[in-house]
Amino acid sequence: MAWVIYRPLVDRWLPSIVGLPREGPGVHSVLTSTVPLALQERRFSYRGDRFEPHEVRTEFWLHSAHKDFGDVFPVCAMWGCTTEWRREVEALEPGVHQFFPISIRRPRSKRPIFRLDGREAGPDDFHLFNCLQQIDAVIPERSSGSVERLKYGLLSFNVRDDDLCVAREAVTGRHLWQDSRKAGAREHFFISDALMEAFRRAGLTGFKARPVREELGAAATCENRLDVES
């Protein structure tokens, strides 16, 4: 079984964290001015593009009144995470994704930001997460709800409501990915049962999760079936 994780639409888990202490050009971008303008439309974390450290901002600003937040949280609509969340991902997929250390401060106050256990957040506690694993996984014909095929090979589906099914032969051995054909916003990730169990054991917060069925895809060969089912 696989899972899909996404941010809950409640204020508790949605701090306002942006790239500048006040409104201005680029306030909602995680990228620095060193990224060429023609590449600004690359969606950090949602398209599988790799970034260099100098292309990603290291300093961000908390504009809401949150005292603390979960182990995953929005940063300019991308995914920020704690060191604990990073540790669980890299324990199963070392070196597969990118994590960029970041600092988070308040623009008009020196009040500290705390962790959920009451500790003051330190300089190594927060990261930007860049997912680099993009695969064709969802089987629309075996999913139900609003799932549909669109033009140019794209798919439309709602991770909050649809009953999704992914191809077992495509996801076996993987632990965190996105479907490369998803149209529109991709503010979610698919994860393996093993990674979901690791998140639970570690008591990580800030996201919701729904189970996703795994089945052999329609194009699987007999050899594939034996490999996957053995």
How many residues are there in the chain?
A: 230
Q: Residues 75-105: pLDDT tens digits?
A: 999 999 999 999 999 999 999 999 999 999 9
Task: Provide, rounded to the nearest whole percent, the portion of the chain with pLDDT above 90.
Answer: 77
Note whether 18 and 60 are within 8 A (CB). Answer: yes
Q: What is the mean pLDDT of the chain?
A: 90
The pLDDT assigned to 218 comes to: 58
pLDDT band at 47 (very low <50, low <70, confident <90, very high): confident
Q: Residues 140-153: pLDDT tens digits?
A: 999 999 999 999 89
Distance CA 35, CA 89 (A): 27
pLDDT band at 227 (very low <50, low <70, confident <90, very high): very low
What angle, rounded to 10 degrees, do the helices at 193-202 and 83-92 form?
150
Task: Calculate the alpha carbon distances from 211 to 69, 99, 162, 219 in Å.
Answer: 24, 26, 11, 23
Instruction: Write the DSSP string, the chain.
Output: -EEEEE--SSGGG---EESSSSS-TTTT-SB-TTS-GGGTTS-TTTS-----GGGB--EEEE-S--SB--SEEEETTEEEEEHHHHHHHHHHSTTTSEEEEEEEE-SS--PPPB-TTSPBP-TTSEEEEE---EE--B-GGG-BSS-EE-GGG-EE--TTT-B-EEEHHHHTT--EEEETTB-S---EEEEEHHHHHHHHHHT--S-EEEEEEEE--TT--HHHHHHHH-
